[in-house]
């Protein structure tokens, strides 16, 4: 009941509150059609379309919207609602939270006491060791999910272990991985994190065959691409899970998929994940909170409710480029999970857009002007 | 940030409205304030240029540099006044005045040949030679 009020902030209300961008285009600015005839000074000096685009971006832009977390709307503003909310807080923080922490600790103890011996003692019997480790990780993830009272509904056929297949999913938080891992032990490709998460990554997840990358290193991409290809070829490896958005998005939108996952020459199985915002906003805004705080926030909410759809595997159609393939799969996932598509690259969160885009606009303008100059 | 409108009093809204010569309705000013607060992350009262450049749609715009010059260090009232040129209720004169200000980079009240050349350079980038621009 933390965010019961957020039911009201559906997208329609959000748009009402925002000034409509289209109202702000000054009249006569739609010079989209090619103007012909003599090049008048007026046409040259009329920079209003470019200006209106800039102003539109300042007032509201689709990229920032992707990363906005829902502010919790307080519903406890009333004399009788407030004690109810207080009662809820007491239950959540003083009763549920300790129980969950206990449960999680218990889970960790069981997991570590089984994992460490198995890892070292069964060094010789790889196959057996791997299958036991897989089940242990699956069990640990179930403990994790239970610690937030996760109610996950899986739709569609369970992923099977076959070579030459890759799973792609939309990304809202690191817990996406845990939720999917609960059902099938995937090998995931992740950004290497600092702190206790990094420690986990290095030890336990390594045994699943996970692959690491570093966003900031430019050369990293080729090394990682090779690792991906090798992994997919191996029949014994865990199925590979990739989050092609490259960053966490707030579960209302999808940003452009990176084509790396779609160039591997194998079947792509899309997975769509949608969280129910009534209970808790599972979006991990990595700019606002650390992962530990995010987990604590989840553990002190009532529940994490989400739907996971395993969708039909897709193959590269003849004559389709990997980018088009990525867009097609993004379409499928967005439609299933009810997300809107946005034409921006997720990495723009961390860096400026390359000058290429600006140059393209400049090129269009220059060409049209030069053409008209010739016509004179 | 669901309650930022409570930080703006009715007096504030009316003052801003007067300042921008009624180009925006009160509801629009409230929404603009929410947007301003969203961009002004460190709550320093103005939006740093960096923040504007982190909006991809803005950064790819060829005229972003000239606009940044005008946008630097604006408080909320001036921010709304800046955007008022884009309102459908703004007069034509106001809009032309705005375009003039964008061209007039040295703020001397006159648009010289060099000013026009500079704007053209921004708009066309490396796709037009200097000679072609001067010819225009």
Q: What pLDDT shows up at residue A271? A: 92
Q: What is the mean pLDDT of residues A65-85?
A: 75
Structure tokens at A309: 């759809």
Report the DSSP pairing between strands A253-256 and A340-345.
parallel
Could you please report the per-residue DSSP string of A130-173? HHHHHHHHHHHHHHHHHHTTEEEEEESPPP---SSEEEEE--SS
CATH 1.10.238.10 fits B5-90, yes or no: yes
The domain spans of chain B are: 5-90, 104-136
Q: What is the mean pLDDT of residues B91-117?
A: 76
**pLDDT above 60: residue B6:** no
Residues B29-65 have pLDDT tens digits of: 888 888 888 888 777 878 888 888 888 778 777 778 8
Neighbours of A93 (CB within 10 A): 12
Could you please report the per-residue DSSP string of A312-359? PPB-PPTT--HHHHHHHHHHHHHHHHT-EEEEEEGGGGTSPPPHHHHH
For B68, name the nearest residue in chain A, comparing CA atoms only: A54
Report the DSSP pairing between strands A240-242 and A304-310.
unpaired
pTM here is: 0.74
Cβ within 8 Å of residue A304, ≥6 positions away: A145, A148, A149, A150, A151, A175, A275, A279, A280, A282, A298
Could you please report the per-residue DSSP string of A76-140? --STTHHHHHHHHHHIIIIIIHHHHHHHHHHHHHHHHHHHHHHHHHTSS-HHHHHHHHHHHHHHH
Give the closest-approach CA distance of B120 to chain A in angstroms.
8
All residues of chain A having their beta carbon less than 8 Å from the beta carbon of residue B124 are 362, 365-366, 369
pLDDT-derived band of residue A40, with 50, 70 and 90 as boundaries?
A: low
Residues B79-95 have pLDDT tens digits of: 888 888 888 887 888 88
Which residues in chain B (24-83) have CB-CB distances under 8 A to chain A?
24, 27-28, 30-32, 34-35, 38, 52-64, 67, 71, 83
Give the closest-approach CA distance of A320 to chain B in angstroms.
28
**pLDDT above 70: residue A6:** no
All residues of chain B having their beta carbon less than 8 Å from the beta carbon of residue A77 are none
CB pairs under 8 A between A and B: 134
The complex's ipTM works out to: 0.72
**pLDDT above 50: residue A257:** yes
């Amino acid at each position: 009941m933390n965010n019961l009020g957020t039911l009201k902030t559906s997208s329609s209300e959000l748009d009402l509150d925002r000034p409509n961008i289209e109202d702000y285009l000054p009249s006569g600015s739609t010079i989209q059609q090619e103007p012909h005839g003599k090049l008048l000074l007026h046409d040259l000096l009329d920079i209003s379309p470019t200006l209106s685009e800039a102003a539109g971006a300042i007032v509201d832009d689709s990229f920032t919207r992707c990363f906005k977390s829902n502010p919790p709307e307080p519903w406890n503003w009333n004399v009788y609602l407030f004690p109810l909310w207080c009662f809820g807080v007491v239950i959540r923080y003083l009763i549920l939270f300790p129980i969950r922490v206990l449960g999680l600790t218990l889970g960790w103890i069981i997991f570590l006491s089984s994992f460490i011996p198995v890892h070292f003692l069964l060094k010789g019997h790889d196959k057996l060791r791997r299958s036991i480790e897989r089940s242990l990780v699956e069990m640990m993830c179930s403990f994790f999910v239970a610690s937030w009272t996760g109610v996950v509904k899986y739709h569609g056929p369970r992923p099977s272990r076959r070579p030459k297949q890759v799973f792609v999913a939309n990304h809202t938080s690191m817990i996406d991985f845990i939720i999917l891992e609960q059902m099938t032990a995937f090998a995931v490709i992740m950004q290497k994190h600092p702190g206790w998460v990094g420690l986990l990554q290095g030890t336990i997840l390594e045994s699943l065959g996970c692959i690491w990358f570093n966003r900031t290193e430019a050369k990293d991409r080729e090394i990682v691409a090779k690792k991906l290809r090798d992994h997919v070829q191996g029949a014994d490896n865990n199925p590979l899970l990739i989050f092609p958005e490259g960053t966490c998005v707030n579960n209302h939108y999808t940003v452009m998929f990176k084509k790396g996952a779609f160039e591997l020459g194998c079947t792509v199985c899309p997975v769509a994940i949608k969280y129910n915002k009534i209970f808790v906003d599972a979006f991990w805004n990595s700019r606002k909170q650390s992962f530990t705080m995010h987990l604590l926030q989840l553990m002190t909410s009532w529940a994490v409710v989400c739907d996971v759809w395993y969708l039909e595997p897709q193959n590269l159609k003849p004559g389709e480029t990997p980018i088009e393939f990525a867009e097609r799969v993004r379409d499928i996932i967005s439609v299933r999970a009810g997300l809107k598509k946005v034409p921006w690259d997720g990495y723009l969160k961390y860096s400026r857009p390359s000058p290429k885009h600006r140059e393209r606009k400049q090129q269009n303008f220059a060409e049209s002007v030069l053409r008209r100059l010739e016509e004179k | 940030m669901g309650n930022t409108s409570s930080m703006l009093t009715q007096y504030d809204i009316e003052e801003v409205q007067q300042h921008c010569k009624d180009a925006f309705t009160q509801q629009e000013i409230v929404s603009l304030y929410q947007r301003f607060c969203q961009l002004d992350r460190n709550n320093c009262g103005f939006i740093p240029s960096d923040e504007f450049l982190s909006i991809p749609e803005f950064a790819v715009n060829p005229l972003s540099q000239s606009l940044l010059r005008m946008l630097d260090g604006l408080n909320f009232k001036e921010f709304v006044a800046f955007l008022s040129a884009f309102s459908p209720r703004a007069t034509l004169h106001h809009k032309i005045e705005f375009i003039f200000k964008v061209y007039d980079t040295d703020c001397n009240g006159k648009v010289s040949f060099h000013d026009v050349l500079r704007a053209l350079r921004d708009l066309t980038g490396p796709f037009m030679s200097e000679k072609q621009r001067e010819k225009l």
